[in-house]
Chain A
Amino acid sequence: MKDIREDIAWAKINQDVLKSLENPRKLYWVIVFCAMAVFSVGLGCEIYQYNVGMGVANLNNPQVWGLYIATFIFWIGMSHSGTLLSAILHLMHADWRKPIYRFAEAMTTFSLMTAGLFVMVHIGRLWQFYYSLPYPNERGIWPNFQSPLLWDAMAIFTYLSSSVLFLYVGMIPDLAIVRDNIHAGWRKKLYSALSLGWEGTDRQWRNFRVTYLTIACFLIPLAVSVHSIVAGDFAMSQQPGWHVTSFPPYFVAGALYSGCAAIITLFIILRYVFRFEEYMTLPILKKTVRLTFAIAMVWTYLNAVEFASVWYSHDQASKDVLIQKATGPYAPFWWGMIFCGSVVPFMLSIKRFQTNIPVLFAVSLLLNLGMWLERWMIVAPTFSHGYYPWTWDHNQWPSMVQWGMVFASFGWFTLLFMIFCKVFPSVSMYEVKEMVYHRKLHAAKGGNNSQGAH
């Protein structure tokens, strides 16, 4: 089966994608409404926590990070999917990524914005957020530049701003298409301003190509550095269970894994909601599924490495934390993580499930549940069972305020993402045209067009 039909007319590509800005299925509005409702719950929780104090979150010693930081890592991880599809696969000339990379890039941006919220929420005193910024002040006090937490803030700022620019620059030719086709009104003005007067001249394309490639080259090491630094928040501490050298690659693999699983979920939703069956095809879904399975196996292997290095390290405190995870109060969640993260992905290896949309939708949600549990199981068990027995507390449970904000983050992300897809083209029109054009040329030369031009 072909990734995409090479006989689709370019004008039809424009029409189909532009239709997504006007007329989605009713399910779109249902999703937006649900997302707003869920987000409102979290907003209420934050207002309550802000007014009453951090005590309502039940964040007390030893559980000082709780669900907030676990969910923060989850959303940072989710952001890596966009870089994988838009930068890594771009450099590898994998042209099947072209119809789906735009929404993956948008995912990157919105998941980073969601992650950033958790840093603020976790601080509690929102009005003192500026204390963490490196600026000269009259007290002569700077943040601790040797702390991975500051590196984290800088890495996330760099990643977010670079991702937003990468998303925007990659969208300029499509914004010009929308500008040329949309009726007069505020949207016409918006697209005219954002497309910067793009006309597709050879000078513009030439510089566009070089810029896009250059930023892609920057984004790959940046994405790796971001999650390595997040891993450093843990691995550079002396806490049992965290002081492991394999943490950075383990975090990066986990990030790519959860990002790929989320791409499958959103692929299925967008395909239906915006009637993108012609572009988000089953062969492309199959390739994404296979990629996800490969990354799932890497993650499983790194998990095993982590357990083995703790087990054979003769570090009794770390070993105790591992045993606590498998047999203590967190055991159902820890085994849930193993099941969702390492066993469920085997469904993806079965050929007939690789294009079965209901199965893939359910599996992708389970994979992300597993990845969220993974982050929680990194944070909570170590805090509950540290070096000193008098600090142990195995029964401290996150309050409803914490749970409310975790659920709300999904609403916030979904809301931003769905608004983006309604306002901006979520399929890259010019890249799909390129894909169709190259496949047509390749077919004319007698090549196997199911393999694509590359």
Chain B
Amino acid sequence: MSQRHILALFNDFEEAEGAIRALRAAKIDGFNFDDLTLKSPIEHHEVEDILGERSAPVQRFTLVGALMGGLLGFFLISGAQANFYAQMKGGKPIVPFPPNFVLTYEMFILGGVFVSILGFLICAGLPAKRSPLYSAKVSEDQIGILIKAEDKAIEKIKSVFVTFEALEIQEEAGK
């Protein structure tokens, strides 16, 4: 069965929230709730909560990046200091921990920040191509619900959107 996209624009979060709840409750054949995407000009925790548990694993990247950065920093410096095995150090430590801590700390942060950004791009799916249906109104003041569903489900989804007073409904042409 071929699948199509349908986008509805709403005036505010309450109407979009109502439509999402109705779509979830309706259990429409040919529509998987995970294929629903909310588009909004601001982040909105309440509506996102209705979408259910959807992960944001950026912090795992952060942890790995910070640890890698710190370790890389420490071993880079210590490796360089190991040159001094060939030199007289007058009894002073070859790898002195207190000053090395400072650079390790900076590299810990640098690694954490860089890899968090990388994690963000991966987890958010950026850079991305424009979706098949897009309205610039979503970046202004309207809330969009984009759904990918089978042809047979499209009419039922559309009727839910109409019930919740969608301002505009865009449909991808059938294949």
Q: Which of A58-66, A150-158, A361-369, A394-402 contacts B (4 or more CB under 8 A)?
A: A150-158
Stretch at the interface among B22-30, B39-47, B156-164: B39-47
Write the residues of chain B forming the contact surface with A, with a CB cutoff of 8 angstroms. 37-44, 47-48, 51, 54, 56, 58-59, 62, 76-77, 80-81, 83, 96, 99-100, 102-103, 105-107, 109-110, 112-114, 116-117, 119-121, 123-131, 134, 136, 138-141, 146
For the complex, what is the distance from the CA of A151 to the CA of B58, rounded to whole Å?
29
Residue of A nearest to B73 (CB): A154
| Subset of 17 A-B contacts with CB under 8 Å | A11-B140, A134-B76, A145-B77, A151-B99, A158-B109, A162-B109, A165-B114, A180-B140, A196-B121, A196-B127, A200-B138, A207-B58, A210-B120, A211-B119, A214-B59, A214-B116, A433-B42
- Contact status A201-B140, CB under 8 Å: no
Q: Give A163-178 as 1s and 0s: 1 = Cβ < 8 Å from B's Cβ atoms.
A: 0011001001100110
A155 in contact with B106 given A181-B136, A211-B117 (CB within 8 Å): yes
Query: For the complex, what is the distance from the CA of A150 to the CA of B37, rounded to whole Å?
Result: 48
Q: What A residues does B59 contact at CB under 8 A?
A: 210, 214
- Let me know if B102 and A10 touch, CB within 8 A: no
Chain B contact surface mostly: helix
A221 with B119, Cβ < 8 A, contacts A202-B51, A210-B56, A211-B58 known: no
Q: Which residue of A lies closest to B113 (CB)?
A: A162
Whether A208 lies near B43 (C-beta < 8 A) is yes
- C-alpha spacing A3/B113, complex, angstroms: 32
Q: Is A199 touching B39 in the complex (CB atoms < 8 A)?
A: yes
| Chain B residues positioned under 8 Å from A166 (CB to CB) | 113
Please give, as numbers and ranges, the residues of chain A lying within 8 Å of B112 by CB-CB distance.
214, 218
CB neighbours of B76 from chain A (8 A): 134
Determine the distance from Cα of A11 to Cα of B137 in the docked complex, in whole angstroms: 9
Tell me the complex Cα distance, A11–B41, Å: 10
- B105 proximity list for chain A (CB < 8 A): 225
Shortest CB-to-CB span from A312 to chain B, Å, is 28
A313 within 8 Å of B (CB atoms): no
- Chain B hits for A209, CB < 8 A: 43, 56
- CB closest residue in chain B, given A162: B113
Give 1 or 0 for each of A5-23: 1 = CB within 8 Å of chain B CB. 0000111001000000000
Taking chain A's interface residues, is the majority helix, strand, or loop, or is none over half, making it mixed? helix
Q: B54 contacts A146, CB within 8 Å? A: no
> Which B residues touch A162, using CB under 8 A?
109-110, 113
Contact surface of A with B, Cβ cutoff 8 Å: 9-11, 14, 134, 136, 140, 142, 145-146, 150-151, 154-155, 157-158, 161-162, 165-166, 169, 172-173, 176-177, 180-181, 196-211, 214-215, 218-219, 221-222, 225, 229, 430, 433-434, 437
9 extra interchain contacts, Cβ-Cβ under 8 A, other than A134-B77, A155-B106?
A161-B110, A162-B109, A197-B127, A202-B38, A202-B54, A205-B40, A205-B44, A207-B123, A229-B102
In contact, B129 and A197 (Cβ under 8 angstroms): yes
Given A9-B141, A169-B117, A433-B42, A202 contacting B48 (CB threshold 8 A)? yes
A361 to B156, CA, bound (A): 61
Instruction: Given A145-B77, A206-B48, A433-B42, check contact A177 B140 (CB 8 Å).
Output: yes
CB distance from B33 to the nearest CB of A (A): 13
Q: A158-B110, A222-B109 are in contact. Are A207 and B103 (CB under 8 A)?
A: no
Given A151-B103, A197-B130, A214-B58: A146 touches B40 (CB 8 Å cut-off): no
Q: State how many angstroms separate the Cβ of A428 from the closest Cβ of chain B.
A: 11
- Give the top 3 A-B pairs by smallest Cβ distance, nearest first: A197-B128, A10-B141, A180-B136
User: Quick one: which of A151, A165, A173, A203 contacts B54, CB cutoff 8 A?
Assistant: A203
Q: What's the minimum C-beta distance from A21 to chain B, rounded to whole angstroms?
A: 15
